[in-house]
């Protein structure tokens, strides 16, 4: 689910930066020049057991890197501001952790290795593209047979419904996005992951969200009342989904990870992929297969029930975000779970992604695909290793 950074949160961030107050669940700690006197929470057991980590192992050849990439944001998206504002829902704030964060933020600024950049660029090569152009993408999204129904997704209809006048950039970006997605995870997987997309007026400044539920129909043989079941997954987006000011403003403030025109759509597809990951192998093959007109009625009624962890059959990946966090920490010598989460916080450059497990995964996916070529740094390289190389092996 993609939300806009509202005025009150911006105010909180500003106030936090100026007066340096850390908000805590049970109490508050005022930061000042007394940092040297350890005017923080006591070091917790995680810190005592953890080695002195400098972040030098984030990639094996960091010492050889020469080029440093500076952020192109108006606000450089300080992780400390986020920590001060939320006081970390996942961990206690200590001086050692702050030092760890500072070191990581310095390390990820080095340019990604050229092999990673070349590998990603190959995903956009004209040869072996799943979708030759926008018309071909529309045709396949509309006619792909799920089993009992067709996908019937039309971006042209969505763009027209939203009143988008200048559509060429969006169409080109959609073709690129789907081709990258399909080359990494397979065309049929990408087409079957989502059953419907609709546009609607969404409240609470939410610009998009993904919903899912299980739908079961009687087996065609109807023996002993056996039912076929599959997970139905749908997406909804508001009129702001392609709003340039919304996207740019949220990126510049550090709230979202990219400012591409497809930032919101890519984020929501990150949720689609995350939900797909959490299904077992059999249900991945059956996703949306039993969708019928009853699924349409459910979706159009606006009474959809949000997906939760308990109604998904777990197999290889117990949690999409935990799996990503472990993968990002691979070969880093960062073994403590708390510090592994901090590492993912530094790699995924999105304060919105740091508010929840689910949005961390979605923002990471968006950052991987939509980072500008000249901004591909070590953080992007780590995400590329996960989404382009490691994750397809699991699927």
Tens-digit pLDDT profile for residues 291-311: 877 777 766 665 444 333 333
pLDDT of residue 118: 96
Q: Which of 107, 118, 117, 120 is nearest to 61 (CA)?
A: 107
Cα angle, residue 93 at apex, residues 92 and 95 outer, rounded to 5°: 135
Q: What is the pTM of this model?
A: 0.82
- Please report how the helices 357-370 and 320-328 are oriented relative to each other, as an axis angle in degrees rounded to 10: 60
Q: Which range scores top for mean pLDDT: 57-71, 79-93, 172-186, 236-250?
A: 172-186
pLDDT of residue 337: 81
Q: Is the pLDDT of residue 358 over 50?
A: yes
The three-class DSSP label of residue 285 is: helix
Beta-strand (E) ranges in the chain? Answer: 2-3, 21-22, 29-30, 196-199, 206-218, 227-237
Confidence of residue 274 (pLDDT cuts 50, 70, 90): very high
Instruction: Report the distance separating Cα 184 and Cα 391, nearest Å.
Output: 9
Q: Which of 380, 388, 367, 324 is nearest to 112 (CA)?
A: 380
pLDDT of residue 255: 87
User: Cβ neighbours of residue 298 under 8 Å, at least 6 residues apart?
Assistant: 213, 215, 232, 304
Confidence of residue 45 (pLDDT cuts 50, 70, 90): low
Confidence of residue 32 (pLDDT cuts 50, 70, 90): very low
What does the domain layout of the chain look like in residue ranges? Answer: 114-394
Strand order in the sheet with 227-237: 2-3, 206-218, 227-237, 196-199
Whole-number percent of the chain with pLDDT over 90? 35
Confidence of residue 9 (pLDDT cuts 50, 70, 90): very low
- Contact (CB, 8 A) for 346 and 105: yes
């Amino acid at each position: 689910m993609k939300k806009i950074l509202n005025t009150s949160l911006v105010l909180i961030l500003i106030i936090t930066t100026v007066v340096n107050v850390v908000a805590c669940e049970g109490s508050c700690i005022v930061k000042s020049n007394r940092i040297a006197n350890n005017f923080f929470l006591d070091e917790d057991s995680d810190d005592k057991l953890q080695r002195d980590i400098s972040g030098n192992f984030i990639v094996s050849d960091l010492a050889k890197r020469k080029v440093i990439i500076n952020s192109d944001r108006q606000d450089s998206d300080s992780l400390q501001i986020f920590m001060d504002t939320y006081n970390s829902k996942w961990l206690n704030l200590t001086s050692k952790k702050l030092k760890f964060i500072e070191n990581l933020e310095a390390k990820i600024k080095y340019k990604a290795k050229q092999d990673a950049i070349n590998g990603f660029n190959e995903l956009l090569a004209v040869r072996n593209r799943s979708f030759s152009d926008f018309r071909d993408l529309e045709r396949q999204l509309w006619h792909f047979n799920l089993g009992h129904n067709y996908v019937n997704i039309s971006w042209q209809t969505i763009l027209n419904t939203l009143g988008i006048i200048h559509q060429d950039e969006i169409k080109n970006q959609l073709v690129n996005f789907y081709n990258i997605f399909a080359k990494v995870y397979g065309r049929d997987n990408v087409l079957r992951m989502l059953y419907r997309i609709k546009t609607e007026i969404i409240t609470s400044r939410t610009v998009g969200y993904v919903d899912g539920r299980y739908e079961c129909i009687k087996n065609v043989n109807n023996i002993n009342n056996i039912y076929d079941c599959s997970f139905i997954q749908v997406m909804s987006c508001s009129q702001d989904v392609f709003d340039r000011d919304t996207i740019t403003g949220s990126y510049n403030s550090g709230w979202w990870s990219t400012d591409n025109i497809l930032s919101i759509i890519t984020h929501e597809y990150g949720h689609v992929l995350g939900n797909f990951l959490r299904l077992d192998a059999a249900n991945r093959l059956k996703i949306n297969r039993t969708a019928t007109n009853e699924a349409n009625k459910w979706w159009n009624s606006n009474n959809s029930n949000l997906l939760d962890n308990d109604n998904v059959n777990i197999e290889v990946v117990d949690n999409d975000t935990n799996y990503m966090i472990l993968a990002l920490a691979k070969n880093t010598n960062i073994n403590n779970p708390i510090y592994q989460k901090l590492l993912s916080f530094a790699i995924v450059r999105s304060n919105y992604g740091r508010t929840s497990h689910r949005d961390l995964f979605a923002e990471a996916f968006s950052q991987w695909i939509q980072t500008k070529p000249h901004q591909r740094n070590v953080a992007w390289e780590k995400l590329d290793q996960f989404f382009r190389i490691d994750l397809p092996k699991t699927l």
